[in-house]
Structure 1
Amino acid sequence: MKPLVMIVEDEAPLATMLRYNLEKEGYRVCEAVDGEEALTVIAEANPDLVVLDWMLPVMSGIEVCRQLRRKPRTRDLPIIMVTARGEEGDKIRGLNTGADDYITKPFSLPELLARIKALLRRVQPAQAKGELTYEDISMDLTGHRVTRGGRSIHLGPTEFRLLQFLLQHPGCVFSREELLNAVWGPDIYVEPRTVDVHIRRLRKALNAGEEADLIRTVRAAGYALDVNPVGV
């Protein structure tokens, strides 16, 4: 059965556009127009992922997210927060509340679809068993091992966490600050350029067999794990 994606959005034209494109991609779709309705529909429909607007009538998206994370049944439900609030502090607040990802309006539809696909990949059976894969890279989370094309890759703890995060979000571009927050943690102060150092180490380890470089540097944006060039 195709994944069920829930849209929680009070702007009717945007909700209609999202439904059309998600159904075109093969997803099943359900909707809610305010926070209280969202909690009711989620309890009844049990969606695989929620695209959640921050600014909603009756109950905000932040409060919806907070309540979902308190319930065992929805504690691990993938949530993408969608909002017009683009300040870094707002993004951090949304992620700290429990959102798995955050995208700012106006957004690129292909980017949103890529993020949805990446988050849904987390709950696939292979990942439930502790395995992440992308192209010829495989990460065994249980055994703490990484291979590429069958070749064993030796990584330090930070490079391992960095690769794990990128494997969980293939095709998505992350700034240095976003990587610092995800890999090092929001309460740890590290210079943003430290990310560059660990990216170089990760590249060196992954490409020791002269394979294609799957870590793309996107000028003025950040880094992505992507088989196709996304920047220069």
Structure 2
Amino acid sequence: MRVLLIEDESRLAEFIRQGLVQHGHVVDVAADGPTGLELAALAAHDVVLLDMMLPGQNGLDVLRNLRQFGAEPQVPVIILSALSDTRHVISGLDAGAQDYLRKPFELDELLARLRALERVRAAPAGAAPLRLLDLELDPLHRAVTRAGIPISLTNREFALLELLLRHAGRVVPKTRIAEKVWEVEYDMGSNVIEVHISQLRRKLDRAFPDQPPLLETVIGHGYRLRG
């Protein structure tokens, strides 16, 4: 993959760059927002790794500019940030990021998330649509609709919904979600799954008040799609 890393902390940027290069990735590095946007316009990237606290232009503004004016507005963006409370995570996801990785993090976790993106990009050509009542997910075209209305999902939300749809009517534990969607062991102290479930519920259920809710939390066990 060709990766654009926008990170102003030089030692961390070099650590990430070296780690990614050692695993076969090509990495372009920018130390501030404006330079990152210039590099994004100069070359096609498979993913952008974006710090939130940047000189010149903060990460959220960079993300919004990538989405609104970038040469490739759909390029996946993973936020790397020490701003780890739920409010900042939701702001980043709502601004168009596919994922949010809290600092400090292990390089192996970042690599796992990049592999997850690659799997999504390489969805099998013959993948059949998944349906539950008025909800439909098309793995081939990466499209989701409910009651015929398109729903925009991040890569992580798409993978989470696909997992739940493939087990529709059954409870999917958090441990399995972490293993299949994040490729990591479930961290009891992390709320990243809850944040993504909340975002998915907002888009699937709250956005369709006239339709029956589909996403259910089974306290102490996990989540399921019912219908």
Pairwise TM-score range, normalised by the shorter structure: 0.5 to 0.7
CA 184–46 in structure 1, closer or farther in 2 if over 3 Å, else same: same
**Aligned letter for 1:9?**
E
Look up the match of 1:45.
Answer: 43
Aligned residue number for residue 105 of structure 1: 103
Please report how far the alpha carbon of residue 84 of structure 1 lies from its aligned counterpart in structure 2 after TM superposition. 1.0
Q: How does 1:6-85 map to 2 (within 5 A)?
A: 6-71=4-69, 73-85=71-83
Distance 1:62 1:45 in 2: 21
* Alpha-carbon shift at residue 43 of structure 1 (Å): 0.8
- The RMSD of aligned alpha carbons is 3.8
Q: Which residue of 2 aligns with 1:183?
A: 200
Q: Contact (CA 8 Å) 2:217, 2:223: kept in 1 or not?
A: no
Once the 2 structures are TM-superposed, how far is the Cα of residue 56 of structure 1 from its aligned partner?
Answer: 0.5
Unmatched runs of 5 consecutive residues or more in structure 1: 133-138, 145-152, 203-232
Identity %: 35
Q: TM-score w.r.t. structure 1 length? A: 0.64
- Conserved in 2, the CA contact under 8 Å of 1:121 and 1:127? no
CA distance in 1, matches of 2:219, 2:52: 32
Tell me the equivalent position of 1:155. Answer: 168
Change in 2 beyond 3 A, CA 1:195/1:6: farther
SS of residue in 2 equivalent to 1:17: helix
Instruction: Return the letter of the residue paired with 1:184.
Output: R
Count of paired positions: 180
Give the alignment partner of residue 217 of structure 2, picking from 183, 191, 194.
Answer: 194
User: Match for 1:171 among 174, 183, 189?
Assistant: 183
Change over 3 Å in CA distance of 1:108–1:201 after alignment to 2: same
Summarize the Cα distance change of 1:92–1:109 in structure 2 as closer, same or farther, 3 Å threshold.
Answer: same
Q: 1:80 touches 1:101 (CA, 8 Å); kept in 2?
A: yes
Q: Judging changes above 3 Å, is the alpha-carbon distance between structure 1 residues 114 and 33 closer, same or farther for their aligned structure 2 residues?
A: same
Determine the structure 2 residue equivalent to 1:230: none
Higher relative contact order (CA 8 A, sep 6+): 2
Question: Do the aligned partners of residues 42 and 119 (structure 1) sit closer, same or farther apart at CA in structure 2, a change above 3 Å counting?
Answer: same
Which secondary structure state, in structure 2, belongs to the residue aligned with residue 74 of structure 1? coil
Of the structure 1 ranges 67-76 and 34-43, higher mean CA displacement relative to structure 2 is found in 67-76
Distance in 2 between residues matched to 1:86 and 1:154, nearest whole Å = 31
How far apart, CA to CA, are the structure 1 residues paired with 2:94 and 2:21?
30
Residues 157-192 of structure 1: CA deviation (Å, up to 9, x unaligned)? x979x9xx879834145745224224312794x9x9
Task: Go from structure 1 to structure 2 and tell me whether the alpha carbon gap of 1:10 and 1:109 turns closer, same or farther (over 3 Å shift).
Answer: same
Mapped partners of 2:53, 2:128: distance in 1 = 36
